[in-house]
Chain A
Amino acid sequence: MTESTSTLLDVKDLTVEFATRRGIVRAVQNVDLTVGKGETVGIVGESGSGKSVTSYAVMRILDRAGRIADGAITFSGIDVRNASESEVRDLRGREISMVFQNPRAALNPIRKVGHQIEDVLLEHLQASPQDAKVKAIEALQKVRIARPDERYHAYPFELSGGMCQRVVIALALACRPQLLIADEPTTGLDVTTQKAVMDLIVELTRENGMSTILITHDLGLASAYCDRVVVMEKGKVVETAKSAQIFKSPQHAYTRKLMRSTPRIGANLRDLLPEDMPVPLTPAKKTAGGGASLLSVSNLVKEYPRQGVGGTLATLFRRKNEFPQSEVFRAVDGISFEIKRGESVGLVGESGCGKSTTSMMVMRLLDATSGHITFDGEDIAAIPAKSFAGLPLRKRIQMVFQDPTDSLNPRFTAARAIADPIYRLGGLRGRDAVRARCEELARQVGLPVELLDRFPHQLSGGQKARVGIARAIALKPELVILDEPTAALDVSVQAVVLNLLEDLKHSLGMSYLFVSHDLNVVRLLCDRVIVMRAGKIVEEGETEAVLSAPKTDYTRELLAAIPHPPL
């Protein structure tokens, strides 16, 4: 790779080892990486690929257990690997800065954000005690924080997630470093905030002629914002290429797989599967929503008492949350929609929009404040959630949960988890009969039968997701609610699981209510989408129509926030 500009960071043959109880684990192996002056380089990989560890090694902030075993790190002529701790400390924050994921946790919770910026300025002698405050406010202003002189006195908990990330960026850029490492800077933020934060980073680094390393699991995001992309898998670099090139002609099989599985405009569900995977029998064709109505929700409302005081450490158990003010908070504010038989409906919105509350009420795990939920002609909202568990109706509505780990009892084997609903409601008796049914279900969801006797912690994320799906379809439900079923999974696993769900829907004739924050994923699976915001439905319609011609600004904003890789 020849660069016209001079090289700022040069990592050669980097190997990082972690001492663990099972011996030494190589998290990063023989990684080469260069970043030119003013260049933006993306490091892309799934969890465990070693992308973050690489950046920690560059900053020399590895955990106690980790060490750089081999290789050289040169930053503008300085040998970072062998530099003394005080030399490296001068580099950190001043020459190389870092922006982390989960911004709220990245700030000291009990120190004013202004003071935190001052700390960095004073440490690197970029300000004197007299003008530190002015400069800190300036730094806040640069990251487009409104009323910076007031925000200077704010504590992190008083700011939103997006605002916190701006503060972290201000902190990182305060000393005008030459290199910014952004480690999943938008993970955990709302979709619309994500775009604003990414744009801000790009703008500020361009403005100052800085170099940037963007670490992400999202190939789309990387290629949209970076000049060059480095793809990592299991601690190794598998491919390095210009952003435009990597999408046009990916060289390595892993890149191709990763690229294929990334949801993108113009690709359908089947396109996401790896090349070598046999194409399923049923073509992924959207069913016309012509069936009879299965579920109809009308004027559904859920109110919560507004809680002023949250639990603190000292009062966690002592004070009960009394509901002092008569003020109530409407999590779901009078929504109505319908799902037909055989139809998939997407319920999309950012966190806190009420989509999960809605799904819990439809699921009959939560009682509605008012409104009707009519399932196959019967108003199930009238049945209290408590007594719903024992009804035959329970069999007909099931759910796939967000976090496959959290949704499996750590003390139950996969087989027992799948068998639980069969024993309780399936009407099937006898060990052998139930076991046979479990095996049949396992085959249906593509879970190797020999894994049935394993415990959740012995299964991978994808396998756990399959167990969750097998349990949900065990009773042959008519309506399945998918609550962000792939949110905790890597993209390649997500692609496979989404396809599995699509196949099952056709072969079992189910309807789906797919709850997600990600329009891009919902698009793949759903015939219709409902966009929610602040407890209300903002827009509703056929998926293609909503995506190609959104009627409301909010939907447009959501769509714009999806990174568009160059194609």
Chain B
Amino acid sequence: MNKLAQVEPVEATPVPVSKPARQGSLFSHARYVIGENPVTGIAFGMFVIIAACAIFGPLIAPYDPLASNTASALQAPSAKHWFGTDQLGRDILSRVMVAARLDLGIAIFSVALVFVMGGLSGVAAGFFGGWTDRIVGRIADTIMAFPLFVLAMGIVAALGNTVTNIVIATAIINFPLYARVARAEANVRRDAGFVQAARLSGNSDVRIVLTQVLPNIMPIMVVQMSLTMGYAILNAAGLSFIGLGVRPPTPEWGIMVAEGAGFIVSGEWWIALFPGAALMLSVFCFNLLGDGLRDIVDPQRRT
């Protein structure tokens, strides 16, 4: 009703500035963003390496990640064992490479799960409002009433100490984030002119959600996904660090850091450092990718 306030766009930025910038394809915009911020390009390179480890890890690892050899226990990094060996003589490089699959797998599955659940219920809540909104809002609020990692601990403890339950717990604690973003985006668009116009064109509500609202929200949700991937990895690794989910001798970054923790005070730094660094780099990589993706999709929200 009071759109009148914007009778004339503020002209602090002259029109020719913003107009041509928005023209052109998403691709050229992506190229611009990467050109402006080469870090995104580097992050993408890192992502390819991590993904290669996750897919081909067991094939390209130099040693069997589970084979222990007490004779060569606790060796510092050398030409033979680039990352050294642990207390059982297992090759740390191989273990770090093989672990990528499990760590990424947990993160991807949990994020995909929450993407569907949180996204759909958020869109429904935002678009239809009413009791749908109230129920989804209440669920999200209740989850948010817990410190999220603590809730994840509780869920895994109650559901049982398995990898599947880590995936579920990680998805649950991310639910409010997804539901809120989707809700807010859907809510903004609920009364947008183009949605009203679609109603006038004879579209049903469900059809409007599918053809008008969802495609417009999708980019933002995808960005959200890549931003929370890092958090999901951290969360899963944190749970296994305190002894939940993954059990030894399975190679996993969190549990490997936990195993190496005891040796830090006696100076065997490599056992904890390499899996920790792998964990850190992959989270860093996903966060950078998420930021870059957001710049591409939504230039206004750049920080």
Q: Do chains A and B touch in the complex (CB under 8 A)?
A: yes
A residues with CB within 8 A of B: 18, 20-22, 25, 27, 46-53, 56, 63, 65, 101-102, 184, 187-188, 217, 235, 317-318, 320, 351-352, 356-357, 363, 365, 386, 389-390, 394-395, 397-399, 401-403, 406-412, 417, 420-421, 424-425, 457-458, 468, 471-472, 484, 487-488, 490, 517
Instruction: With both chains docked as a complex, state the minimum distance between the C-beta of B98 and any C-beta of chain A, in angstroms.
Output: 42
Instruction: With both chains docked as a complex, state the minimum distance between the C-beta of A483 and any C-beta of chain B, in angstroms.
Output: 9
Q: Across the interface, which residues of B come within 8 angstroms of A403, CB to CB? A: 3, 6, 193
Q: Write the B102-146 contact mask toward A (1 if CB under 8 angstroms, else 0).
A: 000000000000000000000000000000011001001100000
Chain B interface mostly helix, strand, loop or mixed?
helix
- Which of the listed residues B17, B20, B134, B194 has the most CB atoms from chain A within 10 Å of its own CB? B194
Is residue B9 contacting chain A, with contact meaning CB distance below 8 A? yes
- In the complex, the answer to whether A352 meets B1 with C-beta atoms within 8 Å is yes
Knowing that A352-B2, A420-B197 touch, tell me 15 more A-B residue pairs with CB under 8 angstroms: A25-B17, A47-B8, A48-B14, A52-B10, A102-B5, A188-B4, A389-B200, A402-B3, A402-B193, A407-B193, A412-B194, A424-B202, A425-B201, A487-B4, A517-B4
Is residue B250 contacting chain A, with contact meaning CB distance below 8 A? no
Bound together, the chains give a CA A101 to CA B203 distance in angstroms of: 39
Q: Across the interface, which residues of A come within 8 angstroms of B20, CB to CB? A: 22
Q: Across the interface, which residues of A come within 8 angstroms of B134, CB to CB? A: 320
- In the complex, the answer to whether B201 meets A52 with C-beta atoms within 8 Å is no
Is residue B196 contacting chain A, with contact meaning CB distance below 8 A? yes
Beta-carbon contacts under 8 Å, B186-228 to A: 192-194, 196-205, 212, 215-216
Q: Give the residue of A50, A363, A397 whose beta carbon is less than 8 angstroms from that of B14.
A: A50
Given contacts A402-B193, A409-B212, A410-B216, contact A386 B12 (CB under 8 A): no
Q: Give the residue of B11, B22, B193 whose beta carbon is less than 8 angstroms from that of A47.
A: B11
- In the complex, the answer to whether B8 meets A184 with C-beta atoms within 8 Å is yes
Is residue B16 contacting chain A, with contact meaning CB distance below 8 A? yes
- In the complex, the answer to whether A488 meets B137 with C-beta atoms within 8 Å is no
Instruction: With both chains docked as a complex, state the minimum distance between the C-beta of B1 and any C-beta of chain A, in angstroms.
Output: 5
Given contacts A25-B17, A56-B12, contact A411 B197 (CB under 8 A): no
Given contacts A48-B16, A318-B141, A488-B7, contact A457 B196 (CB under 8 A): no
Bound together, the chains give a CA A365 to CA B199 distance in angstroms of: 8
Closest 8 CB pairs of A and B: A407-B193, A48-B15, A421-B201, A424-B202, A188-B5, A425-B202, A27-B14, A406-B193
Bound together, the chains give a CA A179 to CA B223 distance in angstroms of: 49
Q: Across the interface, which residues of A come within 8 angstroms of B17, CB to CB? A: 18, 20, 22, 25, 27
Residue of B nearest to A20 (CB): B17
Bound together, the chains give a CA A397 to CA B134 distance in angstroms of: 34
Chain A interface mostly helix, strand, loop or mixed?
loop
Is residue B294 contacting chain A, with contact meaning CB distance below 8 A? no
- In the complex, the answer to whether A53 meets B1 with C-beta atoms within 8 Å is no
Given contacts A363-B200, A406-B193, A421-B202, contact A484 B14 (CB under 8 A): no
Given contacts A389-B203, A421-B201, contact A25 B3 (CB under 8 A): no
Residue of A nearest to B134 (CB): A320
Instruction: With both chains docked as a complex, state the minimum distance between the C-beta of A185 and any C-beta of chain B, in angstroms.
Output: 13
Given contacts A352-B1, A409-B194, contact A188 B12 (CB under 8 A): no
Q: Across the interface, which residues of A come within 8 angstroms of B192, CB to CB? A: 406-407
Bound together, the chains give a CA A184 to CA B5 distance in angstroms of: 11
Give 12 pairs: A residue, B residue, CB < 8 Å, sorted on A: A47-B9, A187-B7, A317-B141, A351-B2, A363-B200, A365-B199, A399-B197, A401-B196, A412-B194, A420-B197, A424-B203, A484-B3
Is residue B71 contacting chain A, with contact meaning CB distance below 8 A? no
Residue of A nearest to B212 (CB): A409
- In the complex, the answer to whether A390 meets B204 with C-beta atoms within 8 Å is yes
Instruction: With both chains docked as a complex, state the minimum distance between the C-beta of A233 and any C-beta of chain B, in angstroms.
Output: 12
Residue of B nearest to A477 (CB): B200
Instruction: With both chains docked as a complex, state the minimum distance between the C-beta of A69 and any C-beta of chain B, in angstroms.
Output: 14
Q: Across the interface, which residues of B come within 8 angstroms of A63, CB to CB? A: 12-13
Is residue B95 contacting chain A, with contact meaning CB distance below 8 A? no
Given contacts A386-B205, A401-B196, A406-B193, contact A53 B12 (CB under 8 A): yes
- In the complex, the answer to whether A401 meets B202 with C-beta atoms within 8 Å is no
- In the complex, the answer to whether B196 meets A365 with C-beta atoms within 8 Å is yes
Q: Across the interface, which residues of B come within 8 angstroms of A390, CB to CB? A: 202, 204
Is residue B90 contacting chain A, with contact meaning CB distance below 8 A? no
Q: Write the B1-45 contact mask toward A (1 if CB under 8 angstroms, else 0).
A: 111111111111111110011110000000010001000000000
Bound together, the chains give a CA A63 to CA B10 distance in angstroms of: 13
B residues with CB within 8 A of A: 1-17, 20-23, 32, 36, 133-134, 137, 140-141, 180, 183-184, 192-194, 196-205, 212, 215-216
- In the complex, the answer to whether B201 meets A457 with C-beta atoms within 8 Å is no
Instruction: With both chains docked as a complex, state the minimum distance between the C-beta of A36 and any C-beta of chain B, in angstroms.
Output: 26
- In the complex, the answer to whether A471 meets B201 with C-beta atoms within 8 Å is yes
Q: Across the interface, which residues of A come within 8 angstroms of B32, CB to CB? A: 21
- In the complex, the answer to whether B4 meets A25 with C-beta atoms within 8 Å is no
Instruction: With both chains docked as a complex, state the minimum distance between the C-beta of A513 and any C-beta of chain B, in angstroms.
Output: 14
Instruction: With both chains docked as a complex, state the minimum distance between the C-beta of B302 and any C-beta of chain A, in angstroms.
Output: 12
Given contacts A25-B14, A48-B16, A424-B201, contact A356 B21 (CB under 8 A): no
Instruction: With both chains docked as a complex, state the minimum distance between the C-beta of B9 and any C-beta of chain A, in angstroms.
Output: 5
Q: Give the residue of A320, A386, A402 whose beta carbon is less than 8 angstroms from that of B133.
A: A320
Q: Across the interface, which residues of A come within 8 angstroms of B212, CB to CB? A: 409
- In the complex, the answer to whether A389 meets B13 with C-beta atoms within 8 Å is no
Residue of A nearest to B137 (CB): A317
Bound together, the chains give a CA A113 to CA B13 distance in angstroms of: 29
Bound together, the chains give a CA A407 to CA B7 distance in angstroms of: 16
Residue of A nearest to B129 (CB): A320
Bound together, the chains give a CA A457 to CA B25 distance in angstroms of: 11
Bound together, the chains give a CA A457 to CA B20 distance in angstroms of: 10
Q: Across the interface, which residues of A come within 8 angstroms of B197, CB to CB? A: 399, 401, 407-408, 417, 420, 468, 471
Bound together, the chains give a CA A398 to CA B198 distance in angstroms of: 11
Residue of B nearest to A418 (CB): B201
- In the complex, the answer to whether B14 meets A18 with C-beta atoms within 8 Å is yes
Instruction: With both chains docked as a complex, state the minimum distance between the C-beta of A193 and any C-beta of chain B, in angstroms.
Output: 12
- In the complex, the answer to whether A399 meets B8 with C-beta atoms within 8 Å is no
Instruction: With both chains docked as a complex, state the minimum distance between the C-beta of A309 and any C-beta of chain B, in angstroms.
Output: 16
Instruction: With both chains docked as a complex, state the minimum distance between the C-beta of A546 and any C-beta of chain B, in angstroms.
Output: 22
Bound together, the chains give a CA A171 to CA B196 distance in angstroms of: 42
Q: Across the interface, which residues of B come within 8 angstroms of A407, CB to CB? A: 192-194, 196-197
Given contacts A317-B183, A411-B215, A411-B216, contact A48 B193 (CB under 8 A): no
Bound together, the chains give a CA A126 to CA B168 distance in angstroms of: 65
- In the complex, the answer to whether A488 meets B200 with C-beta atoms within 8 Å is no
Bound together, the chains give a CA A517 to CA B1 distance in angstroms of: 10
Instruction: With both chains docked as a complex, state the minimum distance between the C-beta of A426 and any C-beta of chain B, in angstroms.
Output: 9
Bound together, the chains give a CA A52 to CA B13 distance in angstroms of: 10
Bound together, the chains give a CA A547 to CA B254 distance in angstroms of: 78
Q: Across the interface, which residues of A come within 8 angstroms of B215, CB to CB? A: 411
